[in-house]
Amino acid sequence: MSATTLKPLDAIWLMLESDETPMHVGVLATFRKPAGAGTRFYADMAREMRAAEVVAPWNLRLDKGPLARLAADPGFDIDYHFRRSALAQPGGERELGRMISRLHSHPLDRRRPLWEFHLIEGLEGDRFAFYIKLHHALVDAVNGVPMLLSALASSARARRTPPLWAQPIASGSDGDLVEEYRLPDLAQAVDALGAVGKVAAGMLQSALRPSERNSFLFPRGTPKSTLNRRINSQRRFATQQFAVARCTALAEATGSTVNEILTYLCGSTLRRFFKEYNALPDSSLIGMMPVSLQERGEHIAGNAIAGIRVPLGTDVGDPLARLAAVKESMKKVRADRASLPAEAVTPYVMMRAAPLYASQLGALGRWIPPQFNLVVSNTHGADKALYFNGAKLEAVYPLSQLMQFSALSIDCVSYAGTFNIGFTGARDTLPHLQRMAVYFGKAVDELEERVAQAEVAQ
């Protein structure tokens, strides 16, 4: 296969990578062994996975040269990319979290195809896990969870499910993951330039309006926070899982949307966590939510670094008042989202994200004011249970890349009636990240209690 050039928005992730900010994402998936599985279940599964044919882009590595291109790796070694290990006893969530935190801290080797797969045995309750790490330049989505879910079976009876590297990576568009980049024709170029001009004019007007508080290019109102210090490559990871039905019931009881409830829960978690360390800013922490235009029939790569800023209500003490503040913030978000142009999506994203790109450039970065304090994302996963060789997928969690001056990402995925929350944090900045996962669960309990009290009072 000849070398193929990565799309510009994918190649940016390679440009932004440094020793302190590796640009890989990850997925942690836990499974329960099928009933009646024999003692050779893991050995047989590992043997079959190693023997599977490797297809593009899993067998492609970065090509030498000035352009970001992928080419076949003549020395591809499946034993380097596929690894089998076991947890220390008792094999609980703490031991799993420690292993995943360590694995996610190490950058990928650019001399090889940019991925690793870890089969992890020894989880308590007769369970095992997959941890997949791959470079964000290869993932055409906010995280790698949809990629994994698309490779699983919908039936417990299905066997010999091919591993990830035997299947092409599904793209968010009709095209391939990697493609030869071509310039648009003249008519497209004229339309794009006109759209970019309108976007630039709108941004300039926003910058000149003192009342504008939610401009991504000229942000105001982002408080100084512990989250916006310089970080290194070491990561911590924590998880939380709860029923979608609980979130839906809260949304109905409060006249909210599920996304508003999830945003509220993030804000409540952060408020409690940072108050404990006497590090809560006086004004609300700002979350950056990645933009998606897929529902409008317009392809924008999830790899694009752009999003909409959302105040999380961390400055409001009363839970119900905090929820009201979050709902008001989300109304503004929806209006901003609806105003995004359908034309010239890529130039728009590049322009809107310019300050974020600049903030990652060495010494220059410290002079760029933070656009947000953390990243918050919500991805639809799968509505029904999925399986790998008869083993039921019980939970799936995204692990994010972290950028300089942004030490936390809270990422939610819905799966089979549950919300699965992954907390990816910079180790030195957030030394007790597991508490954040605990506080997220308590925030659900707290809001349920306040809603029940309000219903009784009526």
User: Could you list the active site residues?
Assistant: 136
Q: φ, ψ for residue 82 (rounded to 5)?
A: -100, 120
The rounded distance, in Å, linking the Cα atoms of 95 and 88 is 7
What sign has the CA pseudo-torsion 455, 311, 136, 171? positive
Tokens representing 116?
A: 């690793």
What is the rounded radius of gyration, in angstroms, for the C-alpha atoms of the chain?
A: 22
